[in-house]
Structure 1
Amino acid sequence: MQKDYAENYKKLGLKIAYFRKLKGLTQEQLAEILDVDTSFIGQIEAPNIYKPITLTTLFRIADALEMAPGELLDF
């Protein structure tokens, strides 16, 4: 039986939003730093959308937020 990780992705998105706001960044600013569409950041952060991301994306977001990737995964 395969585990559904939707809840973990939701928690990850909420943590990204929290730390982004803590750094004083808008979704638009983070998207610009990552060179992605603002809608992509919105999808990741939205608690009602299941948006898996790659490890590379996780690492890039953590770099942009000046934090260790593991901090984003510490639920």
Structure 2
Amino acid sequence: MKEKYYDKYKHIGLKISYYRKLRGLTQEQLAEMIDKNLAFIGAVEAPNVNRTVSLDTLFDIADALNVEPYKLLKEE
């Protein structure tokens, strides 16, 4: 990951956490829905961990959370 994108990945992780909680899902449930392990979701959502997400995974997460992918990318 390029350091200049660190804040963007952090933002994506926070959005994933927000929509996951809004849907009443645990990290483990989301991980199972997208065929990833709990540690992966934990790392993606953690604001102090540098973890990238592929577009395929981002689309899987958006589908699981029933949100449009752009909502995970949009900075508000």
Q: TM-score band, normalised by the shorter chain?
A: over 0.9
Which 4+ runs in 1 deviate beyond 2 A?
A: none
Aligned position for 2:24:
24
User: Aligned residue for 2:72?
Assistant: 72
Flag the structure with larger Rg.
1
- Output aligned runs, 1:1-75, within 5 Å: 4-75=4-75
Quote the RMSD (CA, aligned, Å).
1.2
| % identical aligned pairs | 54
Q: Could you list the runs of 5+ residues in structure 2 that have no partner in the other structure?
A: none
Normalising by structure 2, we get a TM-score of 0.93
Post-superposition CA distance 1:4-41 (Å, at most 9, x none)? 10000001000000000000000000001111100000
Aligned length in residues: 74
CA distance in 1, matches of 2:3, 2:27: 30
* Unmatched runs of 5 consecutive residues or more in structure 1: none
Q: Secondary structure at the match of 1:4?
A: helix
Q: Give the structure-1-normalised TM-score.
A: 0.94
For residues 12 and 49 of structure 1, the distance between their equivalents in structure 2, rounded to whole angstroms, comes to 12
